[in-house]
Structure 1
Amino acid sequence: MYDIVKDYYGRALQGSEDLQTDACCTVDSVPDVIKPIMAKIHPEVSGKYYGCGLIAPALLSGLRILDLGSGSGQDCYVLSALVGETGEVVGVDMTDEQLAVANRHIEFHREAFGFKKANVRFIKGYLENLDELDLADASFDVIVSNCVINLSPDKRAVLAQAHRLLKPSGELYFSDVYADRRVPVELSNDPVLYGECLAGALYWNDFLQLAKQVGFADPRLVEDRPLSVGNPDIVQKIGPLRFYSATYRLFKLENLEPACEDYGQSVIYKGTIPGLENQFLLDCHHRIETGKDFPVCGNSYRMLRETRFAEHFEFYGDFHCHQGIFKGCGIDLPFGNDRIDVSGCC
């Protein structure tokens, strides 16, 4: 699989216009805080960009960030501007051609951002074998990845390595491609399907289980969109399979609960994060308006209180009084009249 990916992204694709689907195309509107940074990205870097989402979570100033599958370096350079001169961004990629593009423009972006010294560097390596690189355990505040983990032949190893490298309370924030069912094995060796991020896509529920197995107990979906496949040959090959681009955030927090438990807690967002004055998006189920008391489960409470977001919230309640499952979290009381009657296999 390594050779397929290297050939596709290093030689077959000359630019984003050569892609056969919109899997590796970012269609999200660019936030205002990112637009002036994007305007400074070197054209060769942006021309070789194949990401599927925006991977710039809030509050990155001064942080140390690792980009898994950094490609031509566009995300790294955007992040380098956001972390500032006191932060650092490290990109890891296995494709020589992409690394050459990224390394060629380090000085260009240092000057464009007005930094005295560059705060970004690129390393050649394989995402499954990050332990072979000079990267210390618990040394990164945030790890990002943009439409790359699906290309790995050992996705569990990638997630485990990310968990190892994150600091306690750190965050894995990444976009990738997922399938609505398990992709048939016979499609996995198709170089176009693999290069287009389809053949290697995880079934979404398998991803959730892998994440939990390596220590990310409560993955949170931030946003998603269905993928459009315009090539009729690819449409015929994939049949009923449906694919989605999705952004998840996974916090490295010990002892998160396996379900959303209700302790009567709530938070109030102060509106003090730059660019997010009106609301804060924890995930697609938690759009927290400024100044409004917002009930949360125990896990969400900890994701805000024990991470870099804490100073921007007021917190109410504790863990002394458990009130059962948090209403609306997707799990309901299985007994008696409170059970919701739906058709299903069990």
Structure 2
Amino acid sequence: MHDVVQDYYGKQLQSSADLKTTACCDASAMPDWLKPLLARIHPEIQFRYYGCGLICPPLLKGCRVLDLGCGSGRDVYALAQLVGPEGKVVGVDMTDEQLAVAQSHQGWHTESFGFDNVSFIKGYIEKLDELDLEPGSFDVIVSNCVVNLSPDKAAVLDGVHRLLKPGGELYFSDVYSDRRVPDAVRNNSVLYGECLGGALYWNDFLRLANAAGFADPRLVEDRSLEVTDRNLAQQTGNLQFFSATYRLFKLDGLESACEDYGQAVIYQGTIPHSPHQFVLDKHHAIAAGRVFPVCGNTWRMLHETRFAGHFQFIGDFKRHFGLFEGCGSVMPFDTVAGTTEAIPCC
């Protein structure tokens, strides 16, 4: 499928207006603090953006960040401003045309930002071990609607786990389905290029993540997708697709389920742009100054990562009280009840 993807994104698509579904459009509510950062990115790069989510997690200053499938570099240049001159952002992509756009404006962004902290590498995201990237050298790895395009998603996750530092995070947006995608859809070159043919069944993704060493993946946000082309919609039938952002932590000790040890945290309100609450994931919006009960996994995700300095921690792992209330295994995505309508693209 590499040839299909390279042709679709390198030659067929010239801008986001050429897309036939809402899969590769970012309908996420853009926070006010991010808008001026995006405004400083070259117009051509903005024009050739095909992401499906928002991949700018908090607390990136000074971090080393890797962007898998960086395309023309919009997210790389946004992240470059967030990590600052002490940080570093590396973009990996396999498409020459996309990398050419990203690299052609590198000097323009250096002049605009006042520093140069980005680099681009040609390569395949399922073959990260073949690139000159040091294991355990990245604080955060991101990806925006690209993992679905890889023919070997397990290898992608294995490579990410290898490159992350202990306590590091994979924060990425991608496309998922409510069931396994049939071969007729998977082998359709347009549907594959539109990020639907290669979409993972959500439960298969969770299994792959756990097998790669990422226990307890956390869903940050999701939205249902619409196939706007009538002919393509007929081919996908009753399949439901979702754009979802997950965060996966490289942490020893995470359990397969949310276990209750009687622990709690108090958010200090000190994370930039989040003075009133910190959103770890879809089910954990932690208000500042309040004692917030958490499971053992959530406790570790805050205590053993870059977030630790912004919380007060209560409890330990000496006493176990069983499964944390509300832990389940049903499909995590929101559907629009009673209708087939999806949230439209922005």
TM-score by length of 1: 0.94
* Deviation per residue, 1:66-115 (Å, 9 max, x gap): 00000000000000000000000000000000000000011111111122
Number of equivalences: 329
Q: 1:208 aligns with which of 206, 228, 232?
A: 206
Cα RMSD after superposing both structures: 0.7
Q: C-alpha displacement at 1:33, in angstroms? A: 1.8
Unaligned runs of 5+ in 2: 330-346
Match of 2:190 in 1: 192
Match of 2:63 in 1: 63
Higher relative CO (Cα under 8 Å, sequence separation at least 6) belongs to 2
Partner amino acid for 1:162?
V
Match of 1:108 in 2: 108
Q: C-alpha displacement at 1:259, in angstroms? A: 0.8
Q: C-alpha displacement at 1:29, in angstroms? A: 1.9
Matched, 1:39 2:39: yes
* Deviation per residue, 1:32-65 (Å, 9 max, x gap): 2211111111011011110000000000000000
* Deviation per residue, 1:274-319 (Å, 9 max, x gap): 1001110111010001111100000000000000000100110111
Correspondences of 1:76-155 after superposition (within 5 Å):
76-115=76-115, 118-155=116-153
Matched, 1:227 2:215: no
Instruction: Tell me which stretches of 4 or more aligned residues in structure 1 moved more than 3 Å.
Output: none
Correspondences of 1:279-294 after superposition (within 5 Å):
279-294=277-292
Comparing 89-98 and 23-32, the one that deviates more: 23-32
Match of 1:165 in 2: 163
User: Percent sequence identity over matched residues?
Assistant: 67
Partner amino acid for 1:133?
L
Give the 3-state SS of the residue equivalent to 1:78 in structure 2: helix
Partner amino acid for 1:86?
E
Partner amino acid for 1:249?
R
Q: C-alpha displacement at 1:258, in angstroms? A: 1.0
Alpha-carbon distance in structure 1 between the residues aligned to 2:53 and 2:248: 16
* Deviation per residue, 1:109-164 (Å, 9 max, x gap): 1111122xx10010000011111110011010000000000000000000000000
Matched, 1:255 2:253: yes
Alpha-carbon distance in structure 2 between the residues aligned to 1:40 and 1:214: 37
Match of 2:2 in 1: 2
Partner amino acid for 2:194?
E
Q: Which has the larger radius of gyration?
A: 1
Alpha-carbon distance in structure 2 between the residues aligned to 1:62 and 1:302: 22
Give the 3-state SS of the residue equivalent to 1:61 in structure 2: coil
Alpha-carbon distance in structure 1 between the residues aligned to 2:325 and 2:29: 32
Unaligned runs of 5+ in 1: 332-346
Match of 1:218 in 2: 216
Partner amino acid for 1:294?
F
Give the 3-state SS of the residue equivalent to 1:23 in structure 2: coil
Alpha-carbon distance in structure 1 between the residues aligned to 2:201 and 2:173: 15
